[in-house]
Each structure stands twice: as C-alpha cells, then as structure tokens.
Amino acid sequence: MKKVLIAGCLLLLSLSMVMAGGGSDQTIKIGLNIPLTGDSPKVGEGAKYASEIVQKELEAAGGLDVKGKKYKVQFVIVDNELKADSAVQAALRLVVQDQVLAVMGPCGSGRAIPAGQVNNENRTPMVSPWATNPAVTLNRPYVFRACILDPVQAPAAVNFAGSQFPQAKKTAILYNLDDDYSKTLAELFRDSWTKSNGSGSVVAFESFGQKDQDFSVQLTRIINAGADLLYLPDYYNHVALIIPQAKDLGWGNKPILGSDSWGSADLVSLSNGAVKGYYFTTHYAAAGAVGATKAFIDKYKAAYGYTPDDVAALSYDSIHIILQAIQTAGITGNLQTDRDGIKNAIATMKNFDGITGKMTFDANGDPEKPAVVVRVNDAGEFEYVTSM
C-alpha cells in the first residue's frame, strides 16, 4: 500500500514537473465573435478557418514570440448567430467571463456597431475584419477594423460605373432595411450617384426585409422606372434570389453592381451562376493573387477545399494585427494594462503588411486602403479588375 502511495506521489510530481517544464505555461486568449449559425454562416466559417490556419502557423513556430518568450495562443470562439443582441452577449462573455486580451469580430456592421460599444466601454481592443460602416469605430479608441469603409466603397462603385458603363445614367438601388450595413451603403451610393449624375438620376430606391424571399414588386418598380443599372448592397443569400428574379421580370442584360457582402464562396453556387459577369467592390481578389496572399489561399484551399473569400482573408489579417500588437506591447500579466498596450500598439501601427494590402491606422482606427473592383468571371471566380 505504501509503495503504491509513493509511486502515485512520484507520478504526480513528475507530471507537474513536465507541465512546468513545457515552457509555455501562459496562454494568450483571443476572442472570436463570429456568426457560425444564422442567415450567413459562411461568413463565420471563413473567419473560423482563418483562425485555424493562424493556429497551425503558431504551432509550427512553437507559439507566439513576445519579447523573447513563447506564448501559446488560444482562440475562444463564440457564435453571434448574425444577431445584434447575440453579438452584444458574445462580446460581454468574451470580455468578462473568458477574460480575453483582444477580440476579433463581429464581422458585419449590423453586429459590430453594438458589440463595438461593449468592447469600448470595457476597454478591450476589438478588430472587426469586415464591418464597413463608419459608426463601428467612430469615437471608440478601442475599436479598429481591417477593411475599407462604406464612404470609400460607395463612391468607388459610382466611379467605376461611370467609367465601365458610361451609358448608364439612371440607377436603381435595392437594399435590406433590417441591416445597417446595407442601408448605409445604399444611402451613400444614392448621394454619390446623384452628385455625379444630377438630381433625379436615382429612379428607384427600394428596400426589403431580412426574411423576404419575394422581391417581385420592388423589381417591377425598378424595371418600369427605366433604370440602366441596379445597385445591390446586399448579402449573397439575398443576391442569389434577387438576380434570377430580376431576370425573370425582364431586367435583361443591363448591368448589376454589388458591394463587398457579395464576396462569399457561396455566392456563385447559391445563385446557380446567375451572378456571372457582374461586378462588385471589395477588399481583395483571390484570382491572380501573389506572395503571402497566394500562400494563404493555397493553405486554405488545401485544408478546406475552396477558395477563401474576403472575410477569411480579412479575419486572417485582423488576427495578425492583434498578434503583432501583442508582440509590440508585450505581456505584463495585468489584464487591463495588456489590453491598453495592445490598443496603443494597433493605433500606432505603421504599414502593417497584410495579405489584403498594407495598413496604417488613422485617428479613428480605420486603415487607409483602396477599394478593389472584381468581376465574377465565367468560371465563377472573383477576378481582379481595378483598384479605385
């Protein structure tokens, strides 16, 4: 009996020594506030897979090197179901319960605006990969983003339409009333279009609800208003329904222009190819990428079997922005000091070399980057056209 006891004690002792000797006894926790269920789960999937790729890179390097010491990084993933209230809950959970150092996400503006408030009030740095609405970072020193803003994206779309479709003078807009992102972008596009084509050149400004599936009445009005171009600042699941219905009602071959919310891997399959030939403004183009961008795309494709969309690429960049900030600021062990350090490091970051472009953050916490215009080519790939 005594022998067993001694053996047990020895075993425990050796185990604890092994654990202590492992080196990385400290773990850095980073929260992911992303939509894994809800209306566009592909968005959350891309973000999650991007974090898995970062995780693999870190494992290969033996952990994150912060001022000469290796740390293990743990991603705490919370599903926000693509709902504003759930995103707020998720943000609170990550900040208070899980005590993460920083949060990546929510992805879209509808969730990032309310969740950003929570993160800012709790003085926890947050980087949204994909939220393009100005309100996300406005007057919130702890909130940053890795993508271009709607006030950049909308005029870029108008300018592109002007050069690509000079015959299009009258435009129609169909947006999602339930989504801050879609509504704001629609208004910015309307104002920008009116500025360059004169008043009355926006002939239809129509909306629908999140759960709507039938858009026939809005499209009938758009078609009969004599619009030359249709702007759809909507999510891919709506776009996949709207475009075939527009064609069924007699839209014909007139151009349709979209925004970065089109850029999902599911867009082409859900619309059964109906989106081919149309253009949208976004953050990066997978077809024809080089360097680190290509390396990321190849890794992602090999692991998950499809080309990563822009949310995945921007999530990858967002996580790396946080990691680089941690490396710059260092780890003291005091949660609030570390969170403040990360915030300051991101705010002063110069020319962060991301796979979606170089980023330097302005006073609002927004990166200075151009918008990329891509075309859905016949193979269903998103092909680079120009930068505006």
Partner 1 sequence: MLATILQNIFNALQWGSFYSMIALGYCLVYGVLRLINFAHGDIFMTACYIAFFIASALLSTFVSGGSVVFVATLILTMIATALVGVTIERVAYRPLRKKGVNRLYVVITALMVGFILENGNLAFLGASSRRFPDILQKELWNFGPVTLTNLKVLVIVAAFVVFGVLQFIVKKTVFGMSMRAISYDKFAIPLMGIPVNRVITFTFALGSSLAAVAGILFGMSYPVLDPYMGMTIGWKAFIAAVVGGIGEISGAFLGGFILGFIEIFIAAFFPSSFKDLVSFVILLIILVIKPTGFFGFAKSTKI
Q: What tokens does 101 get? A: 């150092």
Site for partner 1 in 15-74 (CB under 8 A): 36-42, 45
Q: Which of 87, 82, 62 is nearest to 72 (CA)?
A: 62
Is residue 280 near partner 1 by the rule CB under 8 A?
no
Query: 59 vs 214, which CB is nearer to partner 1?
Result: 214
Site for partner 1 in 164-193 (CB under 8 A): 177
Q: What tokens does 187 get? A: 């208004």
Stretch that binds partner 1, among 101-109, 208-216, 297-305, 309-317 (CB under 8 A): 208-216
Site for partner 1 in 64-93 (CB under 8 A): none
DSSP H or E stretch at residue 19: helix 2-21
Residue where the block lists tokens 């690429």: 313
Q: What is the three-class DSSP state of 362?
A: coil
Work out which of 220, 327, 377, 386 binds partner 1, going by CB under 8 A. 220
Strands (DSSP E) contained in the chain are 27-34, 64-66, 69-79, 102-104, 126-128, 143-145, 171-176, 202-208, 229-232, 256-258, 279-282, 352-354, 357-359, 372-376, 382-387
Work out which of 26, 97, 196, 216 binds partner 1, going by CB under 8 A. 216
8 A C-beta contact, residue 365 and residue 141 = yes
Beta-carbon neighbour count of residue 62 at 10 Å?
11
Query: 55 vs 207, which CB is nearer to partner 1?
Result: 207
Q: How far apart are CA 276 and CA 382, in angstroms?
A: 9
Is residue 269 near partner 1 by the rule CB under 8 A?
yes
Query: 23 vs 250, which CB is nearer to partner 1?
Result: 250
Work out which of 26, 74, 97, 272 binds partner 1, going by CB under 8 A. 272
Is residue 213 near partner 1 by the rule CB under 8 A?
yes
Which residue ranges make up the site for partner 1 (CB under 8 A)? 36-42, 45, 177, 206-209, 211, 213-214, 216-218, 220-221, 224, 237, 240-241, 244, 247-250, 266, 269-272
